[in-house]
Structure 1
């Protein structure tokens, strides 16, 4: 599995959020948040869906699914949404290709590489999942692609 290092500029994320829990093959409530966010994402005519998980590599987490906005676009925040700002950060970026049910396997492989390469997670920074909006409704195909960004020290 290939990866690359990228410095991501500071960004603002607006979306729907919930506390979550990993239990075997099920990641609650991530699929529901992506589904709930789709209408909002479609209405804002963006090309990327962004999921953020805090803290990374944890069985208990806080997850947000939404879009990046300019800090002046606060009018896009609807009732029931959350808004988060994140500073510039270095990430190691991996790519998942295939059915969404295979995402846990991709994470298993990337953590092996992450550890082997000697990376350490940057505390307090988000793990990010980025999906092009043209991947919507391809989640259950071998064509589905998603980037996984892990914050590093």
Structure 2
């Protein structure tokens, strides 16, 4: 990686993980921290298998098995016996998980469900090889 690319990556990383509350980075960091603290039931600073499984179930509706947990830990280079520290969860969200959606599902579940219900993404169902579209939205 060239020096300029490394400098840009460092600047992006610094922006994402700065602790300032008056910026996007501060809001991002605060939301990830609140989610981490909420699911860290034993308050050891790590999300173990049960805690991370609970987070995944609330945010995606999918259960996590031991193999998936091991793969997550391996990808984030953390010990499966300890779990994910806050920084590893930050990396997960920085890599593309939607922190705003997950935060709302955890702390504002009624609003998150209402937003999903009002979404038009689910109003069309494609059926068959030809992609026959059926509009099921209310007239």
* TM-score, normalising length: structure 2: 0.26
Higher-strand-fraction structure: 1
